[in-house]
Amino acid sequence: MAGAGMSADVDSGAGVGAALRWSVERDLRLALRSRSELGVQLMFYVIVVTLFPLASTPERMLLATMGPGVLWVAALLASLLSLPRLFASDFADGTLEQIALSPFPMPALVFGKILAHWLTTGLPIVLLAPLLGIQYGLDGTALWIVTLSLLIGTPILSLLGAIGAALTLGVRGGGSLLALLILPLYVPILIFGAGSADAVRAGLSASANLSLLGAGLLIALVGAPLATAASVRIALD
Amino acid sequence: MAGAGMSADVDSGAGVGAALRWSVERDLRLALRSRSELGVQLMFYVIVVTLFPLASTPERMLLATMGPGVLWVAALLASLLSLPRLFASDFADGTLEQIALSPFPMPALVFGKILAHWLTTGLPIVLLAPLLGIQYGLDGTALWIVTLSLLIGTPILSLLGAIGAALTLGVRGGGSLLALLILPLYVPILIFGAGSADAVRAGLSASANLSLLGAGLLIALVGAPLATAASVRIALD
Amino acid sequence: MLEVLELAARRGDAVLFRRLGFRVEAGKMLVVTGPNGTGKTTLLRILAGLTLATAGRVLFRGEAVAPGSPKLRAECVFVGHLPALKDEFTAEENLSSLVELSGVRPTASQLRAVLSEVALDAQRALPARVLSQGQRRRIGLARLSLLRRPLWLLDEPATALDTTGLALLGQLIARQLAAGGAVVASTHQTLDLPPEHLEWLVLA
Amino acid sequence: MLEVLELAARRGDAVLFRRLGFRVEAGKMLVVTGPNGTGKTTLLRILAGLTLATAGRVLFRGEAVAPGSPKLRAECVFVGHLPALKDEFTAEENLSSLVELSGVRPTASQLRAVLSEVALDAQRALPARVLSQGQRRRIGLARLSLLRRPLWLLDEPATALDTTGLALLGQLIARQLAAGGAVVASTHQTLDLPPEHLEWLVLA
Amino acid sequence: MNVYQFSSPATFYPFAGWLAPWFAWSAALLAIAGLWIGFAVAPTDFQQGEAYRIIFIHVPTAWMSMFIYLVMGFWSVLALAFNTRLSAMMAQSLVPTGALMTFIALWTGALWGRPTWGTYWAWDARMTSELILLFLYFGVMALRNAIDDPRRADRACAVLTIVGAVNIPIIYFSVQWWNTLHQGASVSLTAAPRMASIMLIGMLVMAFAAWFYTIAVSLWRVQAIILERERSASWISALPGLAGALR
Ligand code: HEM
Ligand SMILES: Nc1ncnc2c1ncn2[C@@H]1O[C@H](COP(=O)(O)OP(=O)(O)OP(=O)(O)O)[C@@H](O)[C@H]1O
Ligand SMILES: Nc1ncnc2c1ncn2[C@@H]1O[C@H](COP(=O)(O)OP(=O)(O)OP(=O)(O)O)[C@@H](O)[C@H]1O
Ligand SMILES: [Mg+2]
Ligand SMILES: [Mg+2]
């Protein structure tokens, strides 16, 4: 147990799996600790989606036209609203310091957190979208396409959002600054996402939009954890 | 300076004005500290308003129909997004404890915070609304009425939101739970607010909607500071 | 000045203390000690009116006071674990804002004087965010020095202070006691004060 | 084990230290002291790789290490002002989560044993939110006890600890030194350790 | 003298001061020439009449708005990879000009849209993505304002800039990827230009004017940034004419 015996417990390359497991498991456990958490996310989404027809004139044709857009904007806002919490509490209580000092590779730890965020905020939205879409009078294909586009798109929202959340850590103007930084990046996703369903409704193929979304997801999957980890380190300095 | 000489510096009844001044001044100063704060709020509003036409089909007629609704929903979301910050930082750093222990009447201190919140988030939105309304092709009267409804309505949003913000202090799921608690209260305001402009566009008078809003504002002005102060005390126990 | 009768505190299933009674006279300091988790912080928060006691009464100048009563709020000052500092404000702004919240309007020269008393001259215009742990606590000391309140409630006031900081704290307390004020403080460290002014309460 | 060459730190316009150099051998503890705001915390954060130094190098086991290098991260443990506790998790969950983050998977009985070592048996299943200040710090001590790392960086480890807590901290450090580890700790309090193991660095 | 010396603010400061006026004067001359070609030499368009002349402002600023962002991205990569102070300052110095160019492109585009498309604004892909670019510039400025430690702000802004760079291809290819109101590229390296050559020349001259203007302004701005950041360094107080100004 002396001197050289007390060496590294993890060799840095191999730790990716363990790192992922640690952060996903921990964040899911935290999210589920207050049993209402998941329900609240869903309720928020439902309420926002419900608000729109309330605020504009509820004509059936118009509703179906607005449908995909509203589902997407609501998803985007739900993501935006939950993002400030992604790192804030870990930052305030010092966990983020320990994450930066862990022998596990930091992008993997960060990616785990993002994954947990998506599982608790994005996935429920995707699952709920078909139901809400019916309320808007969307038909079979459009419904299916908008759900698929949300399934591909919402992870991008979480991934990009994480960068913004990390950049605005400990910075004044938090929530709104985050929105300002991230919304411009969200807009293309919104356009492709809502556009895919519009294309279908217009009798065209959604595949161009969806494959652009898919490409976006790939890029975000590779780039975002690295950028986020770098931003977190910057925030800790 | 001994014993009895070291007594109260403020007699509790008279402190309302001083209390208001203290908290409004302090929170405004905090908000303006990062020079960009106000700008960020505005940018957020502009971006959200900009998102809607992006997500739906941009036809001129439809735009004008959606206009007031979008302006209102965006105002509501801007309020919602900034609410978690209303008490959170004061709670985390112990200022809220000192506020509860101050000789000033607590509802007045809390009201000052709410006022500052409205001045930094609500008022800019009201001022910007006419400009954005033009983008949506709203005409003179509709523009004026939607702005007026926002002027009466956004303070209600801040007042009601403050109760929710205080209730969810230190509770996990903060932002979304807050949204869940507050949105049902916001919906009537949204309906009257957006409805007033719709009425004008339909050739009717907006006065019924506006006076309902006004009544709501009066009730909120009286009740919300008391309810918020009580909630803050509960959160501190 | 302060008298406590039959006070009890329960948190969850644990009874922290029961039938606690003590008096703090003007000019005296009550030092609350005891192992970690025995209820020192809880006791101080009850006295300040932040937390509700399970049972018992608190008398202030002989009158029973309700938690959070205006009278108590006007006459006591509580310094807890949390420093009540805004990261964005400078040391000076933080100090003046905190003091004004207690209803006192200090002049700029008073602020400057007291900040130099706690050796924060050079940090006067720095945002609190960048201050060191001890420098943040010193702003709390400066506040104590500016507020003339009969009763001080201090929760571990020695935390993060260096030796000169500790000496300063001792001086402030001595001044408060000499002026006929009273102090209740929890601490794990020994404070350098004349023992005849001290009373002890050991929680266990 | 650790060697520091020509280290300098500037924060804003203030130069905290310049051309700082020292060595910490295995089995030794470097105690960093000095008045508030002289850069103790900054030094420890630089050593841990959290903050960038303005100039200078840090050698670990004779090799220059970049800030945040995997090697350093695998061999040192840093305990700062912030306890890294989740309010929602119980003491036990917090401990196991923190230890696992360092790549060690403790068994349930290990966790239980070490929690009773730091006298948190009764608080094992309480959420960290309700723990007292000292009890929260004790979870950090339990973590130190479970992680076998050659280098400990401790920023004011004595904060909020009662006398038995201090004794415990002393024992842990003694065990670490006896096992051939090294410790760098900042403190304002005196720790009860055999002076022959201690080296001093006074910042001013 | 090697290239790396220029990465030290102390060396770069006088060099920038020497270089900037050259670019400024060239920019002024080119702008005069370009405007003269644009408004006096180029013929009236048979479709659009005189309104088309906005092109001589619109297109160069639109190009620069994207190009400046790419250059910022380049400096940001350098700043993050090598932790060099100067490259972060270069990136910082470009932001306001980039925002200005974007704003002008948007503004002139909107003005032009009125006579040609009958509307100032439409939510067309190119316009929207150009608007996003403006928001990105604002985002970088807001982030910098929100962080007081300049070194930290440098690195945070660098990350944001690099991430935001994905928007540039979107702007550029938007006309190809979607059916837009906006017209496609008419200047290309691979195909013969489809517009009158005098118009093309005017546009190119104006583009160079905008480019040189950007360089001059950002050199001056980088000097100001250096002065502000390094105010305590000894070489600054040794600068002629500054010794007094800095106490
Ligand atoms: C606010 C609205 C507008 C925006 C944001 C905008 C944006 C841009 C951008 C970013 C470019 C450079 C991209 C490239 O070189 O491919 C560009 C080029 C151009 N724009 Fe616009 N534009 C707007 C309105 C207009 C209008 C109304 C017209 C004329 C009918 C117009 C005509 C052109 C032309 C001719 C080019 C040059 C294309 C080329 O030759 O490559 N734009 N615009
Ligand atoms: N819900 C609960 N269930 C059981 N015990 C609780 C609960 N909430 C708080 N406690 C216990 O109450 C005590 C609170 O103690 P307090 O913070 O007053 O202690 P303290 O004397 O200030 O300790 P320290 O010296 O560590 O600051 C702790 O022991 C804590 O474990
Ligand atoms: N931007 C800045 N400008 C000037 N001074 C700064 C800036 N940022 C930090 N400082 C100073 O740097 C020092 C940081 O000190 P640090 O926290 O390392 O001190 P410490 O030795 O740990 O003190 P303590 O004993 O109080 O914990 C403080 O004196 C602080 O005022
Ligand atoms: Mg305590
Ligand atoms: Mg320190």
Question: Does ligand 3 have an atom closer than 6 angstroms to the CB of C127?
Answer: no
Question: Does ligand 3 have an atom closer than 6 angstroms to the CB of C134?
Answer: yes
Ligand 1: list residues with CB < 6 Å: E 55, 58-59, 62-63, 105-106, 109-110, 112-113, 116-117, 126-127, 130, 171-172, 182-183, 185-187
Give residue E184's pLDDT: 67
Which chains are within 8 Å of A by 3+ CB pairs?
A: B, D, E
Tokens found for residue B45: 């509003």
| Average pLDDT taken over every residue of chain E | 84
Query: CA E193 to CA C65: how far, in whole Å?
Result: 88
Give residue A3's pLDDT: 39
Number of domains chain C is built from: 1
Which residue matches tokens 């439409």? E122
- Interface C–D counts its CB contacts (< 8 A) at 76
Query: CA C169 to CA C167: how far, in whole Å?
Result: 5
Lowest model confidence (mean pLDDT) among A19-23, A58-62, A126-130, A138-142: A58-62
Contact between chains at C160 and D189 (C-beta distance less than 8 A):
no
Give residue D148's pLDDT: 86
Pick the closest to residue A98 from A23, A179, A185 (CA basis): A23
Query: CA A10 to CA A26: how far, in whole Å?
Result: 19
> Confidence class of residue A12 from pLDDT cuts 50, 70 and 90?
very low
Residue D173 scores a pLDDT above 90? yes
Query: CA D96 to CA C171: how far, in whole Å?
Result: 44
B181-223 tens-digit pLDDT: 787 888 889 888 888 887 877 778 888 889 999 999 999 999 9
Q: Does B204 touch chain A (CB under 8 A)?
A: no
- Whether the CB-CB separation of E181 and E146 falls below 8 Å is answered with no
Contact between chains at D86 and A95 (C-beta distance less than 8 A):
yes
Residue range C152-164: mean pLDDT, rounded = 93
* Nearest residue by C-alpha to atom 20 in ligand 1: E59
Q: Is residue B9 exposed (0-12), middle (13-18) or buried (19+ Cβ within 10 Å)?
A: middle
Residue C142 scores a pLDDT above 50? yes
Tokens found for residue A39: 């329900």
Nearest to E135 among B34, B35, B47 (CB): B47
Cβ-Cβ contacts under 8 Å for D115 (sequence gap 6 or more): D91, D92, D95, D121, D124, D142
- Whether the CB-CB separation of D31 and D200 falls below 8 Å is answered with yes
Q: Note the ipTM here.
A: 0.86
120-139 of E, contacting B, C-beta below 8 A = 121-123, 128, 131, 135, 138
Residue E232 scores a pLDDT above 50? yes
Within 8 A of D126 by CB-CB distance, chain C residues are 12
C34-45 tens-digit pLDDT: 999 999 999 999
> Confidence class of residue B41 from pLDDT cuts 50, 70 and 90?
low
Per-residue HEC secondary structure of C78-146 comes to EECCCCCCCCCCEHHHHHHHHHHHCCCCCCHHHHHHHHHHCCCCCCCCCEHHHCCHHHHHHHHHHHHHH
For residue C80, the chain D residue with the least C-alpha distance is: D133
| Average pLDDT taken over every residue of chain C | 92
Give residue B12's pLDDT: 46
DSSP 8-state assignment for residue D77: E
Residue range D137-164: mean pLDDT, rounded = 93
- Residue whose CB lies within 8 A of the most ligand 2 atoms, among D130, D141, D161, D162, for a mutation test: D130
- Residue whose CB lies within 8 A of the most ligand 2 atoms, among C40, C81, C153, for a mutation test: C40
3-state secondary structure of E120: coil
Which residue matches tokens 């509820």? A58
For residue D127, the chain A residue with the least C-alpha distance is: A33
3-state secondary structure of D21: strand
Question: For residue D42, how far is its CA from the centre of ligand 3 (angstroms)?
Answer: 7
Cβ-Cβ contacts under 8 Å for A26 (sequence gap 6 or more): A116, D97
Residue range E99-113: mean pLDDT, rounded = 93
3-state secondary structure of B134: helix
Rounded to two decimals, the pTM is 0.87
Residue C56 scores a pLDDT above 80? yes
Give residue D100's pLDDT: 94
Contact between chains at A181 and E160 (C-beta distance less than 8 A):
yes
Within 8 A of A94 by CB-CB distance, chain D residues are 80-84
Residue A136 scores a pLDDT above 60? yes
Query: CA C53 to CA A126: how far, in whole Å?
Result: 48
Give residue B39's pLDDT: 64
Q: How is chain A split into domains, by residue range?
A: 15-236
Residue range A197-224: mean pLDDT, rounded = 87
Residue C176 scores a pLDDT above 90? yes
- Whether the CB-CB separation of A176 and B81 falls below 8 Å is answered with yes
Which residues of chain C approach chain B closer than 8 Å at the C-beta? 26, 48-52, 68, 70-71, 73-78, 80-89, 93, 97-98, 100-104, 148-150, 179-181
Interface residue of B32, B50, B51 to substitute, partner E, most E CBs within 10 Å: B50
Which chains are within 8 Å of E by 3+ CB pairs?
A: A, B, D
Tokens found for residue C56: 């018992």
- Whether the CB-CB separation of D72 and D184 falls below 8 Å is answered with no
Give residue B197's pLDDT: 80
Give residue E247's pLDDT: 44
Identity of residue D152: W
Residue range B19-24: mean pLDDT, rounded = 94
Within 8 A of C188 by CB-CB distance, chain D residues are 134, 160-163
Lowest model confidence (mean pLDDT) among A6-15, D110-119, E15-24: A6-15
Residue B51 scores a pLDDT above 70? no
Query: CA B168 to CA B173: how far, in whole Å?
Result: 8
Share of chain B above pLDDT 90, in %: 35
> Confidence class of residue A10 from pLDDT cuts 50, 70 and 90?
very low
A30-81 tens-digit pLDDT: 887 765 556 666 777 887 787 666 655 556 666 777 788 888 888 888 888 7
Q: Does B183 touch chain A (CB under 8 A)?
A: yes
- Whether the CB-CB separation of B235 and B166 falls below 8 Å is answered with yes
CATH code: domain of residue D123: 3.40.50.300
> Confidence class of residue E125 from pLDDT cuts 50, 70 and 90?
confident
Within 8 A of A18 by CB-CB distance, chain D residues are 103
Q: Which domain holds residue C77?
A: 2-202
Nearest to A9 among D50, D83, D104 (CB): D104
Higher pLDDT, D141 or E119: D141
Give residue A5's pLDDT: 39
Residue range A167-195: mean pLDDT, rounded = 82
B71-109 tens-digit pLDDT: 888 888 788 777 877 898 899 899 999 999 999 999 999
Give residue A123's pLDDT: 92
Q: Does A47 touch chain B (CB under 8 A)?
A: yes
Give residue A90's pLDDT: 92
